[in-house]
Structure 1
Amino acid sequence: MTDYNHYTDYAVEQAKKLLAIDSPSGYGRSVTEYLLREFAALGIPARRTVKGGVIADFGGRDNKNGILLEAHCDTLGGMVTEIKGNGRLKLTNIGGMKPANAEAENVRIITKGGAVYEGVCQLVNASVHVNGEYDRTERSWDTVEVLVDECVKTKEDTIKLGIMPGDYVCFEPRTRVTASGYIKSRFLDDKLSAAILLAYGKYLKEEKVVPERHVYAHFTIYEEVGHGGSASVPEGVTEAWSVDMGCVGDGLTCTEHEVSICAKDSGGPYNYDIVCRLVELAGEHGIGYAVDVYPHYGSDVETTLRSGHDIRHALIGPGVYASHGYERSHKDGVCNTFRLIQAYIG
């Protein structure tokens, strides 16, 4: 009998560790080094791709009918686009980072020379007691800025720190797990599902399970900018899933407690046979699930298809509320996602 609490708790702990590693799209070296160490500790073969992600080989018997599970470890973030005359930083967003959501958040500025400086993202002229237009100012990347937490007053002061355009700006995740099982953090999309795949690999090793089909996991680092899953599909793979966040919001049925099975998103419908089989298995095993259509969503596995791979595709994941903001999920959603993967694959 599988101890689901054991693997759920492991996934949550791994999520906390992954969330603590800054990794906006393209800045993936530290998070992938962490994954490679964790897979080595589990005794699971893994390698870094040329593009910078990680492919882990979970094993299995049938090498001609393999399944690839895709999760992304890149996040939203910012990049310095200009150093202003007063030494403050103008940003361009990485992925779908919204300026209204970035406002009043602590950040880390990572220079190309390896230095890291703290800062804070604020509205320009952010003091309410001074700025009479505070409430009426539209939040955009032209009206918010980063204040570097160093004594800088001019552009030259900031340049002397080694800060320049193209430097990454990483937003504080503020991860918390409550006594009631809620998981709150920026960037649960998609480090929570990456942690679930780590837990599934741990399960296979600890329980000495050899799946009938060969199973691989691909941890990508460019999903938020649209091309994470466009390469590195192992030979023999006939099916690929994005294990990503499930949408929670008005008009949808999923909550943070279920695994969401996506029938269709902005890229079109997912493989109907897989969706039906997932629903059937969830019912058979008493797994909490929801089926939804996501109105504004695209996934890694769709880029895998667009790059020319002849595969069946699916998208599942734990329900996550307030996507691309300060997100919230629950241990139940983690457990149900793990159980659905286990029920389908073994």
Structure 2
Amino acid sequence: MSTYPNINETKELIKQLVSIPSPSGYTSKVIQFVEEYLHELNVETKHNRKGGLIATLPGTNNDEHRMLTAHVDTLGAMVKEVKSNGRLRLDLIGGFRYNAIEGEYCEIHTSKGDVITGTILMHQTSVHVYKDAGDAKRNQTNMEVRIDAKVESAEEIRKLGIEVGDFVSFDPRVQETDNGFIKSRHLDDKASVGILLQLIKRVKEEDITLPYTTHFLISNNEEIGYGGNSNITQETVEYLAVDMGAMGDGQSTDEYTVSICVKDASGPYHYELRKHLVNIAEIKGIDYKLDIYPYYGSDASAAIRAGHDIIHGLIGPGIDSSHAMERTHETSLINTEKLLYHYLKSDLISY
């Protein structure tokens, strides 16, 4: 039996994932990475037309299925305007604020496949020139990309191959500390993807036959609201989204436990499935927190909105400073993986 959990391997996998640019709409490279990882484990996969990836592990019961999902798409941006001053105006992809990316290094991905680096800055950055450098609004009008090239006009920018609609990704700045923290952009939701991949690897290595055929959807449009709302088999009874737990004032979630969401902006998650997950955690000695995420939606809530007749739930590692410079601790990753491992081996709830 493999050492459980192999947290160092999980963290290395997460660091690899966050280092692959994948803003929503530009996810083929990270999907390819995941697919190659699964093929090395001899796991059956298929693509959906939206570009997501579905892996399937056969179970004893093929009449009733489970589905777990995590998303590889991240926050990012797109070139909105090629400006006459030799800089770029951005349009944001996903729900975050411009102040969260001020001063960030970025990459512009041209349609020809070239990558050009830059920095996201306020137009009024220099305090030696602009009196309102600290007070001006951080918004689409004032923020721009300074390109790492000698360009002083829109024409010179276009000669580099940059055009409206090119994707812009942010430097993740991933770091691991000696005391167990991992901090990076895009832990939402690549931390969960890493956990699911490690979970699949463990099931394969231990030659576990799951009680139910189980699908793993690696979705690629969650940040824009519809990643996990399709490709759910008629046989699927339970659908569990694995996504970050949101931290802040009034929240129970922390960086050391698995967060079990009871409600978010879409409404309550399935009560009986929530109780089932709590029961597993208590029996197996898994540290968990129940929580409500007030401004949040998941692939599971998107699936419900799409009309699927499923039992839906949401769990995940606690992530500090969501949609900005995020951080979690290895104990949260461990607790999340443990809960998922025992959940996969459990019976379906009654319905």
Give me the CA root mean square deviation.
1.0
Any conservation in 1 of the 2:110–2:166 contact (CA below 8 Å)?
yes
Number of the residue aligned with 1:65: 64
1:244 Cα deviation from its structure 2 partner? 0.3
Any conservation in 1 of the 2:124–2:142 contact (CA below 8 Å)?
no
- State the SS of the aligned residue for 1:4: coil
Number of the residue aligned with 1:285: 284
Asked if 1:251 corresponds to 2:250, the answer is: yes
State how many pairs are aligned.
345
Cα deviation 1:294-316 (Å, max 9, x = unaligned): 11100011111111211000000
1:111 Cα deviation from its structure 2 partner? 0.6
- State the SS of the aligned residue for 2:22: coil
Cα deviation 1:93-135 (Å, max 9, x = unaligned): 0001321011100000001111110000000031122211111
1:149 Cα deviation from its structure 2 partner? 0.3
Cα deviation 1:213-234 (Å, max 9, x = unaligned): 1111001110000010111113
Number of the residue aligned with 2:226: 227
User: C-alpha separation between the residues in 2 aligned to 1:222 and 1:239?
Assistant: 21
Fraction of identical pairs, as percent: 41
User: C-alpha separation between the residues in 1 aligned to 2:116 and 2:315?
Assistant: 37
Cα deviation 1:43-100 (Å, max 9, x = unaligned): 1111221110000012211112211001000000010010111110000000013210
2:273 aligned partner, one-letter code: I
2:173 aligned partner, one-letter code: R
Any conservation in 1 of the 2:185–2:326 contact (CA below 8 Å)?
yes
Asked if 1:182 corresponds to 2:176, the answer is: no
Asked if 1:55 corresponds to 2:44, the answer is: no
User: C-alpha separation between the residues in 1 aligned to 2:128 and 2:258?
Assistant: 46
Number of the residue aligned with 1:113: 112
1:316 aligned partner, one-letter code: I
2:4 aligned partner, one-letter code: Y
Asked if 1:42 corresponds to 2:35, the answer is: no
- State the SS of the aligned residue for 2:81: strand
Query: What runs of 5+ residues in structure 1 fail to find an aligned partner?
Result: none
Number of the residue aligned with 2:348: none
Number of the residue aligned with 1:214: 213
User: C-alpha separation between the residues in 1 aligned to 2:154 and 2:278?
Assistant: 57
Any conservation in 2 of the 1:55–1:219 contact (CA below 8 Å)?
yes
User: C-alpha separation between the residues in 2 aligned to 1:61 and 1:98?
Assistant: 47
Pairing 1:1-346 to 2, within 5 Å after superposition: 3-6=3-6, 8-346=7-345
- TM-score scaled by structure 2? 0.96
- State the SS of the aligned residue for 2:307: coil
- State the SS of the aligned residue for 1:17: helix
2:5 aligned partner, one-letter code: N
1:89 aligned partner, one-letter code: L
User: C-alpha separation between the residues in 1 aligned to 2:64 and 2:13?
Assistant: 29
Any conservation in 2 of the 1:65–1:214 contact (CA below 8 Å)?
yes
1:200 Cα deviation from its structure 2 partner? 0.5
- State the SS of the aligned residue for 1:224: helix
User: C-alpha separation between the residues in 1 aligned to 2:34 and 2:15?
Assistant: 13
1:150 aligned partner, one-letter code: A
- State the SS of the aligned residue for 1:212: strand
Query: What runs of 5+ residues in structure 2 fail to find an aligned partner?
Result: 346-351
2:237 aligned partner, one-letter code: T
Cα deviation 1:184-212 (Å, max 9, x = unaligned): 00000000000100011001001111110
Any conservation in 2 of the 1:77–1:97 contact (CA below 8 Å)?
no
- TM-score scaled by structure 1? 0.98
Question: Which contiguous aligned blocks of 4+ residues in structure 1 show a shift greater than 3 angstroms?
Answer: none
1:3 Cα deviation from its structure 2 partner? 2.4
1:2 Cα deviation from its structure 2 partner? 6.1
